[in-house]
Amino acid sequence: MIRRCLLWRFIPQGILLSVFALVLVGCSDNRTPVEIASAQGILLLGNGSEPHGLDPHLTTGVPEHNILHSIFEGLIAYHPTDESAPEPGVAEKWECNSDATVWTFHLRHDARWSNGDPVTASDFSYSFRRILSPALGAQYADQLIVLKGAEDYLKGNTSDFSTVGVEVLDEHTLRLHLVGPTPHLPGMLKHNAWYPVNPGVIESFGSIDSRESDWTRPENLVGNGAFRISKWVTNSYLEVVKSDSYWDADRVSIKGIRFFPIEKASTEEAAFRAGQIHYCSNIPIDRIAYYRSRHPQVIRFDDYLGTYFYRFNTTRPPLDNPLVRRALTLAIDTGLIVREVTKGGEQPARGFVYDGVSGYRTPGNLQFDPVEAKRLLADAGFPGGAGFPKMEILINTQEAHKMIAEAIQQMWRDHLGIDIGVVNQEWKVYLDNQDNLRYDISRSGWIGDYVDPITFLMIWTSDSGNNQTGWSNRRYDALYKQVLLTGDPHHRNALMREMESIFLEELPAAPIYWYTRKYLIHPDVKNWHPKLLDYHPFKFIQLEPTGFRL
Least Cα distance to 348 among 337, 356, 359, 340 occurs for: 337
Ranges of the chain whose pLDDT falls below 70: 1-28
Pairing assessment for the beta strands 237-242 and 256-260 based on DSSP bridges: antiparallel
The reply to whether omega before 296 is within 30° of 0 (cis) is no
Q: What is the pLDDT of residues 348-365, one digit of tens each?
A: 999 999 999 888 999 999
With beta carbons less than 8 A apart as the criterion, state whether 45 and 31 touch. Answer: no
Least Cα distance to 300 among 288, 312, 309, 318 occurs for: 288
With beta carbons less than 8 A apart as the criterion, state whether 304 and 531 touch. Answer: no
Per-residue burial over 167-205, b if 16 or more Cβ lie within 10 Å, else e, is ebeeebebebbbbbbbebbbbbbbbbbbbbbbbebbeee
pTM of the entire predicted model: 0.89
With beta carbons less than 8 A apart as the criterion, state whether 153 and 162 touch. Answer: no
Question: pLDDT at position 97, please?
Answer: 97
Q: How far apart are CA 397 and CA 492, in angstroms?
A: 39
Question: pLDDT at position 436, please?
Answer: 96
What is the number of alpha carbons within 13 Å of residue 384 lying toward its C-beta?
Answer: 1
Least Cα distance to 180 among 451, 498, 491 occurs for: 491
Q: How far apart are CA 478 and CA 486, in angstroms?
A: 13
Q: How far apart are CA 512 and CA 510, in angstroms?
A: 6
Least Cα distance to 115 among 84, 71, 148, 67 occurs for: 71
Question: pLDDT at position 29, please?
Answer: 75
Q: How far apart are CA 500 and CA 364, in angstroms?
A: 8
Least Cα distance to 37 among 267, 362, 254 occurs for: 254
Question: pLDDT at position 498, please?
Answer: 98
Q: How far apart are CA 196 and CA 66, in angstroms?
A: 17
Pairing assessment for the beta strands 299-312 and 441-447 based on DSSP bridges: antiparallel
Question: pLDDT at position 61, please?
Answer: 87
The domains of the chain, with CATH numbers, are: 2-48+226-298+522-543 (3.40.190.10), 73-210 (3.90.76.10), 304-516 (3.10.105.10)
Neighbours of 326 (CB within 10 A): 23
Least Cα distance to 497 among 465, 532, 456 occurs for: 456
Neighbours of 141 (CB within 10 A): 24
Question: pLDDT at position 26, please?
Answer: 43
Residue 393: alpha-carbon gap to chain centroid: 21
Residue 231 sits at the vertex; the CA angle it makes with 299 and 55, to the nearest 5 degrees, is 85
